[in-house]
Homo-oligomer: A and B are copies of this chain.
Amino acid sequence: MPDEFTVTPWEVKGKVDYDKLIIQFGTQKITEELKHKIKNLTGGELHVMLRRNIFFSHRDLDLVIEDYEKGKGFFLYTGRAPSLGMHIGHLIPFIFTKWLQDKFKVNVYIEVTDDEKFLRNQEYTLDQTRSWAYDNILDIIAVGFDPDRTFIFQDTEYIRNMYPIAIKIAKKLTFSEIRATFGLEMSSNIGIIFYPALQIAPTMFEKKRCLIPAGIDQDPYWRLQRDIAESLGYYKAAQIHSKFLPPLTGPEGKMSSSNPETAIYLSDDPKTVEKKIMKYAFSGGQPTIELHRKYGGNPEIDVAFQWLYYFFEEDDNKIKKIEEDYRSGKMLTGELKQILIEKLNDFLEEHRRKREEAKELVHVFKYDGKLASEMWQKVHE
């Protein structure tokens, strides 16, 4: 009996089988050989999310690496649909993108889709989504991007420079195609129908290959992009896809802003973090200490372990030790959770410190920085 799961840009349900997803979506597994190649180019270092296959799938990453080796270069693009408060799962593509920028010294474009969020939700006002955009941009800047090589832009502002290329893209996409790809209806509004053109536009900001680190749920946008890019004189966008950090409440689906108990927010204070992890984090341990000592825990389904593995314990020896101790029953669920709570709170404290500093940098990333000011001079055709 196969596990049932769904992965679309608007819904992730069930326990995702990532190997199946590679076949379903027609992407490629990131091979050990490709990782080895990247490792050689990044001074022998491989990001923990690559080492542990959190970024597990790709399209044309090999060609991006080839272009880099040949001196042709490439650029990075990722984005965010603004929400009232980001949770830690939202940081995964940004943290990884920042690492790639550090290692390859390339430009990063970050699209903040205040229009999409407004258009997709009947109840949100544009004032709301724009204030969330400001707020989320602080969290994004806090990740540590290079202010000379990073441009963060909101659709409702940068549309001015993107509209020409966006309508060239739009002219090549029919309602039928968009409808099938994004689950739209005859009753969908005409703004959200046009929106995919704006998500695709930044892949054509430079005449180089574009590499997009993003959750694999965003893949349908890039399939459309790849169908039309070359006819417009641009490269098919390359992607590197991440898995979903499992929600606190269990290994299925993805963290959701609408269910606060499934996620840790970047604004959660230490007490809240402790309470949420202790109360909600789905455990792979046994019902009693005695049974746990005897049979051990199951790290594969234990969310505290998964979060340490995906994100918070970068040291390979330490994570191996934790896994062994938990599996053997030597480490109790409570102890495991304590490790995560401590790591999480250290991370969040540091994040919030950088977030405060980010307030002075918003103008640099959006308007005045080296790349940003160049971009405001350009019209994309």
**Which of A157, A164, A175 has the most B CB atoms < 10 Å from its CB?**
A175
A105 located at the interface, meaning its Cβ lies under 8 Å from any Cβ of chain B in the complex: no
Contact A126-B167, Cβ < 8 Å, known A160-B160, A175-B188, A187-B175: yes
Cβ-closest chain B residue relative to A159: B163
User: Which residues from B are CB-within-8-Å of A156?
Assistant: 163-164, 167
Which residue in B115, B167, B175, B381 is a CB contact (below 8 Å) of A186? B175
Residue with the highest number of chain B CB atoms closer than 10 Å, among A178, A185, A194: A194
Residue A170 is within 8 A (CB to CB) of chain B in the complex: yes
In the assembled complex, the CB of A232 is this many whole angstroms from the nearest CB of chain B, namely 11
Contact residues in B for A157 (Cβ distance below 8 Å) = 160
Q: Is A118 an interface residue (CB 8 A)?
A: yes
How far is B179's CA from A156's CA once the two chains are assembled, in angstroms?
A: 26
**A318 in contact (CB, < 8 A):** no
Question: What separation, in Å, do the CA atoms of A209 and B138 have in the docked complex?
Answer: 41
The 5 A-B residue pairs whose C-beta atoms are closest, nearest first, are A160-B160, A170-B191, A194-B194, A159-B163, A176-B186
Contacting residue for A174 out of B174, B176, B188, B197, CB 8 A: B188
Chain B residues with CB under 8 A of A176: 186-187
User: Are the C-beta atoms of B170 and A189 separated by less than 8 Å?
Assistant: yes
Which residues from chain B contact A163 at a C-beta distance below 8 Å?
115, 155-156, 159-160, 163
Asked if A70 is at the interface (CB within 8 A of a chain B CB), the reply is no
Interface size on A (CB < 8 Å)? 38
Closest to A158 in B: B160
**A173 at the binding interface (Cβ < 8 Å):** yes
**A196 pairs with B186, CB closer than 8 A:** no
Contact between A167 and B119, CB atoms less than 8 A apart? yes
Flag A187-205 by CB within 8 Å of B: 1 or 0 each: 1111111101100000000
Interface members, chain A 120-157 (any B CB < 8 Å) = 126, 155-157
Contact B190 A174 (CB under 8 A): yes
The reply to whether A167 and B197 form a contact with Cβ atoms under 8 Å apart is: no
Looking at the assembled complex, report how far the CB atom of A239 sits from the nearest CB atom of chain B, in whole angstroms: 22
A275 contacts chain B at the CB level, 8 A cutoff: no
The 8 A CB mask of A78-115 against B (1 = contact, 0 = none) is: 00000000000000000000000000000000000001
Which residues of A168-182 have CB atoms within 8 Å of chain B's CB atoms? 168, 170-176, 178-179
A186 touches B174 (CB 8 A): yes
Asked if residues B115 and A168 are in contact (CB atoms below 8 Å), the reply is no
With A115-B163, A126-B164, A160-B160 as known contacts, state yes or no: A191 contacts B175, CB within 8 Å. Answer: no
Q: Please give the distance in Å from A189's CB to the nearest CB on chain B.
A: 5
Beyond contacts A126-B168, A156-B167: 19 other A-B pairs, Cβ-Cβ < 8 A, are: A119-B167, A119-B170, A119-B171, A126-B381, A155-B163, A160-B163, A170-B189, A170-B191, A171-B191, A172-B189, A173-B189, A173-B190, A175-B175, A175-B184, A175-B187, A175-B188, A175-B189, A190-B194, A193-B193
**Which B residues touch A174, using CB under 8 A?**
186-190
Nearest chain B CB to A356 CB, angstrom units: 29
